Amino acid sequence: MEKSSNKKTAIVVGGSSGIGFETCSRLASRGYNVINISRTPCKIAKVGNITADVTDSAAFAAAIKKAAGKNGVQVLIYSAGFSMAAPIEYAKEEDYKYLFEVNFFGALRAIQLIIPHMKKKGGRVILIGSLGGDLPICFDSFYSSSKAALEMLCRAAYGELKPYGIKVTGVLPGGTSTGFTFKRKVYSDSETGGYSGNMNKAVAALANMEQSGMTPEAVAGIICNLLATDNPPVIKICGTKNTVYRVFSRIMPAKFTLNLNDRMYNQ
């Protein structure tokens, strides 16, 4: 992958749509050499593309190596994600394992692969998490679990990699209005047993919360501003409302916040 040596190189994993796409757009406009790694290309003229699936370890490793090239890489942003609506009782093993492969293990692989390219000169790593990792999303419990794990990975990596000048930040949006809402795998009524009524209400509430939430452009702006900050936080919540919500969830009794959360998805 050829690149201009006087530009910083940013690898965006999952930059073909949503938050990843808008991040690619902003980084390219700020003069970065942007390379997207995903199954489908990012249709921005200034963005390079390498086709790879994050669940294919060998292909993903080859993609990172090609993107870093001879001149290295200064920024890694992991924005790939998958969501599924299913009752815990009936969730299929292949589905929740795939979800964790995309949401957590893909991010872990990305960090492992990028460290050798950043260890000498430092760099920035940003992982896109979710407030859903703080409080569970009913019937999307595996997504919440994967994002909770991702936040802990951010915190651990922050401490381990800081001595090498590699700064790690987890960005936690709340509901964001993207096509991700409509790509969610939703189990059919025949696959959910007696849960279908409650699950469908929860899915509709989640979709409404996402589509009335922040724009992906706003989240991308926060990401780019973090890259311009010398001392970024380990965790960045997107938006004042979401920040207040997270603080509230931390200081109130767990049962109280869980009951509020339950009402949100089961009205």
- CATH number of residue 114's parent domain: 3.40.50.720
Decide if 132 is inside a domain.
yes
Average pLDDT over residues 149-178: 96
Specify the range with the lowest mean pLDDT, choosing from 60-64, 206-210, 216-220. Answer: 206-210
The phi and psi torsions of 248 (rounded to 5 degrees) equal -60, -45
Average pLDDT over residues 24-47: 97
Q: What is the mean pLDDT of the chain?
A: 92
Decide if 219 is inside a domain.
yes
Decide if 257 is inside a domain.
yes
Encoded tokens for 3: 């690149």
| CA dihedral sign of residues 165, 170, 176, 178 | positive
pLDDT number for residue 4: 45
Pick the closest to residue 148 from 196, 202, 120, 107 (CA basis): 107
Domain that holds residue 139: 9-265
Decide if 1 is inside a domain.
no
Decide if 3 is inside a domain.
no
pLDDT number for residue 1: 46
pLDDT number for residue 5: 54
Query: Is residue 90's pLDDT more than 90?
Result: yes
Query: Is residue 48's pLDDT more than 70?
Result: yes
Which amino acid appears at position 86 of this protein?
Answer: A
Return the percentage of the chain with pLDDT > 70, whole number: 95
Decide if 4 is inside a domain.
no
Q: Over the stretch 53-89, which tens digit does the pLDDT of each residue have?
A: 999 999 999 999 999 987 789 999 999 999 999 999 9
pTM of the model: 0.92
Per the document, the length of the chain is: 267
Return the percentage of the chain with pLDDT > 90, whole number: 81
Q: How many domains does the chain have?
A: 1
Decide if 240 is inside a domain.
yes
DSSP 56: -
pLDDT number for residue 237: 95
Decide if 2 is inside a domain.
no
Catalytic residues: 143, 147
Query: Is residue 250's pLDDT more than 80?
Result: no
